[in-house]
Chains A and B, each alone.
Chain A
Amino acid sequence: MKSEWVLSKDHLSYWLRQLRNERELIGPLRDGGKDILFRTVDMLHEIVLECPSSLPSPKGFLFPQYEAMFSCRGLSLSDGSDGKREISDLRDRTRRVIFGVRSCDVSAVRLLDAFCLGKLRDPYYEERRRNTFLISLVCNNPDPTCFCLGLGTGPYLEEGFDIQMTDLGDRYFVQAGSPEAVRTVRAMNFFFRKPRKVDYEDQYEVFLSSKARFRKRINLEGPRQAILSGKVGDDFWQEVTDRCFECGGCSYSCPVCTCFTVTDRINPEGIERARLWDSCMFKGFTRMAGGVLPNEKRVQRTKRWYYHKLVHYPRTTGKFGCVGCGRCAVACPGKIDMARTATKIKGLALKEEVE
């Protein structure tokens, strides 16, 4: 069975309206100026599809920057001997559909699935993930910073998506990649028609032309090998680090990064235990009692970030901890980013070979 259809562009907003009856609709919207953000869609015509990649990534709908975990009422700080106490689990159970997700971000969600739903399941992520339906769009026009091509995480996916749509000009080629996606399309099959030969041909052409438009052609395997073979010394990392402002922008904008901290907040209704995004680029990230800082030097933190993504991730999962979305390149004020660092490592390795 091939779960493929064609949707006329005239029908898109009707279809989305239908989907919105059951779920909160999230899409890429322009935020005043140039910024693209994933937000709840009020007006369907405000969705922007011809735009650069969103910043931040849509990961916030699965792993929000601030997420309340528990509320605790009837407890004083000293946690008195007994009395009524009520702990509520604040898992978000909102059903959402996110429209216009990029392929790289879908690939990132797959990495998050493996990490968060592995041996021990993160209940907050799990609940949101179960209730979130992703509709991704093949990138016809990659940004100058994109390099998913070299990682196989975009610009289109062979599998792993819910619904993947390819813009064919006046219509979309629609592929359903999960049983729920098939059900979703079938439930409103009056919007869709079966693809014809010409639709397949057009889709293939879009794939080809998209691939041809990538300005960055970066493979992370070379840099990984170079690191493993000891060609990348601490002086290299020091050079990279010299430009780091320790702002954490790289981790926050990265759709694969998931480090968090936990905090208790006391408010009039009770106590809230919440988690927030954190970054291994911060000095205090590894602070221990007594003020010992294992990663005191900035260079150790830079190395940690890159080693995690380039060396440890492949070792434990077989995949890189990067999907080539290019956001770190946009976010970093010091012009440090995965693509640039990988290119530099490659240059380093080449230089050594020549010498």
Chain B
Amino acid sequence: MRTASGKRTKAENIYLPVSGRIEEIRKKTEDVSLFRVSTASPLRYTPGQFFMVSVWGAGEVPISTASLCEDDLFVEFCVRKAGTVTGAIHSLQEGDRLWLRGPYGNGFAVGRRANGDVLLVAGGIGIAPLRPIIQMFAKDGSAGSVTLLYGSKGPQDVVFMDEVQVWRSGGIDVILTVDRANCDWRGSAGLVTDLWHRARVDFSRATAYICGPEIMIKSVMRDLSLFGMPDERIITTLEAHMKCGVGKCGHCYSGPKYICTDGPVFSYKEIKEYSLLG
């Protein structure tokens, strides 16, 4: 690994971040922005993986890759302002430096949709790690069996509202819902779990990818399992307090698993087996 000054360090240091340049910042909602970051050396990552992203002086936090790795030259992070470090990230401007190490984690093993339908369920900022999968299927073009159920707090909080049209024309059935609707809102109101009847999928043959608040993940997984979806095809990405991302700090340790290195993507089967969700 190289340091920012380009000098080679003596031996590799798994904690040493590389510097990235913020090429573009797009404000998505009141507290969520999308950061497009480039690095000097090529990046290889897959959907569901994450980077430890840092601002010197503020600290380091895990952030999922929100883009599809296509030309190795950049990565996008969709960051919600939640506290100290994410706040510091939000105070940066285009052209500023963001420091990265990774990618870490197992990621989603998404195949092309050869066997069965695909159901994506997102809640709030949980759309971020699912976006590369959506982009992948939307680019694929072929019609049909990909459904996205996406719940947000209010109409102002739908993070990728500007991309929904693109996803739809890519053949994805996008169902939006909000907790609190207003008169301009054309989607549904209520929880994602109230909208199962709208999803045109064959539950017993489909694969689900879920990300959102823990409480949402729990009830979505339980419902899908009841509908006959096999537990190993109900897949989610778990959040945990993470300080290292490489299986050393112990913070994300849950059951016998390290969420950072064994996960963050787990199937309902594994979650039950290792009691990863309490």
A264 to B240, CA, bound (A): 20
Known contacts A78-B92, A89-B9, A123-B13; is-contact A273 B251 (Cβ 8 Å):
no
Known contacts A123-B11, A278-B249, A280-B253; is-contact A286 B57 (Cβ 8 Å):
no
Contact of B248 with A122 in the complex, beta carbons under 8 Å: yes
A86 to B7, CA, bound (A): 10
Check B14 for interface membership: any CB of A closer than 8 A: yes
A72 to B15, CA, bound (A): 14
Task: Quote the shortest CB–CB distance from B210 to chain A (angstroms).
Answer: 17
From B12, B55, B241, B261, A123 is in contact (CB under 8 Å) with B12
From A87, A259, A275, B16 is in contact (CB under 8 Å) with A87
Check B243 for interface membership: any CB of A closer than 8 A: yes
Contact of B248 with A120 in the complex, beta carbons under 8 Å: yes
Task: Quote the shortest CB–CB distance from B198 to chain A (angstroms).
Answer: 28
Pick out which of these stretches binds chain B: A34-42, A215-223, A287-295: A287-295
Mask for B125-161, Cβ within 8 A of A = 1, else 0?
0000000000000000000000000000000000000
A122 to B3, CA, bound (A): 17
Known contacts A85-B4, A89-B13, A286-B240; is-contact A294 B56 (Cβ 8 Å):
no
Most chain B C-beta atoms within 10 Å of own C-beta, residue among A85, A89, A264, A288? A264
From A70, A116, A288, B239 is in contact (CB under 8 Å) with A288
From B98, B249, B253, A262 is in contact (CB under 8 Å) with B249
Check A316 for interface membership: any CB of B closer than 8 A: yes
A206 to B243, CA, bound (A): 46
Within 8 A of B (CB), among A262-298: 262-264, 266, 271, 273, 275, 278, 280, 285-290, 292, 294
Contact of B241 with A285 in the complex, beta carbons under 8 Å: yes
A116 to B16, CA, bound (A): 16
Check B58 for interface membership: any CB of A closer than 8 A: yes
A124 to B9, CA, bound (A): 13
Contact of B58 with A264 in the complex, beta carbons under 8 Å: yes
From B57, B244, B247, A75 is in contact (CB under 8 Å) with B57
Contact of B4 with A294 in the complex, beta carbons under 8 Å: no
A290 to B240, CA, bound (A): 12
A87 to B4, CA, bound (A): 7
Mask for A292-329, Cβ within 8 A of B = 1, else 0?
10100000100010001001100110000000000000
Check A21 for interface membership: any CB of B closer than 8 A: no
Contact of A260 with B249 in the complex, beta carbons under 8 Å: yes
| A69 (CB) vs chain B CBs: closest residue | B15
A76 to B86, CA, bound (A): 17
Contact of B92 with A79 in the complex, beta carbons under 8 Å: yes
Check B173 for interface membership: any CB of A closer than 8 A: no
| B17 (CB) vs chain A CBs: closest residue | A87
A173 to B198, CA, bound (A): 79
Given the complex, which residues of A lie within 8 Å of B248, measured CB to CB? 115-116, 120, 122, 258, 260
Contact of A79 with B55 in the complex, beta carbons under 8 Å: yes
Check A261 for interface membership: any CB of B closer than 8 A: yes
| A287 (CB) vs chain B CBs: closest residue | B241
Check A81 for interface membership: any CB of B closer than 8 A: yes
Within 8 A of B (CB), among A35-94: 69-70, 72, 75-82, 85-87, 89, 91
Check A121 for interface membership: any CB of B closer than 8 A: yes
From B4, B83, B96, A78 is in contact (CB under 8 Å) with B96
Contact of A80 with B96 in the complex, beta carbons under 8 Å: yes
A287 to B5, CA, bound (A): 35
Contact of B92 with A259 in the complex, beta carbons under 8 Å: no
Contact of A294 with B16 in the complex, beta carbons under 8 Å: no
Given the complex, which residues of A lie within 8 Å of B58, measured CB to CB? 77, 264
| A290 (CB) vs chain B CBs: closest residue | B82
Known contacts A75-B57, A316-B256; is-contact A278 B251 (Cβ 8 Å):
yes
Mask for B38-69, Cβ within 8 A of A = 1, else 0?
00000000000000000111111000000000
Chain B: residues with CB nearer than 8 A to chain A? 3-5, 9-16, 19, 55-60, 80, 82-83, 86, 88, 91-93, 95-98, 213-214, 239-241, 243-244, 246-256, 261, 278
List the 3 closest A-B pairs by CB distance, nearest first.
Answer: A259-B250, A289-B82, A312-B256
21 A-B pairs (CB sep. < 8 Å): A76-B57, A77-B55, A79-B56, A79-B98, A85-B19, A87-B4, A89-B16, A121-B12, A123-B11, A123-B12, A124-B15, A127-B11, A259-B249, A264-B56, A273-B60, A278-B250, A278-B251, A289-B80, A289-B239, A290-B82, A312-B255
Chain A: residues with CB nearer than 8 A to chain B? 69-70, 72, 75-82, 85-87, 89, 91, 115-116, 119-124, 126-127, 258-264, 266, 271, 273, 275, 278, 280, 285-290, 292, 294, 300, 304, 308, 311-312, 315-316
13 additional A-B residue pairs with CB within 8 Å, beyond A275-B249, A311-B256: A70-B15, A78-B96, A80-B96, A123-B14, A260-B248, A262-B59, A262-B243, A264-B59, A278-B251, A286-B241, A289-B82, A289-B239, A304-B253
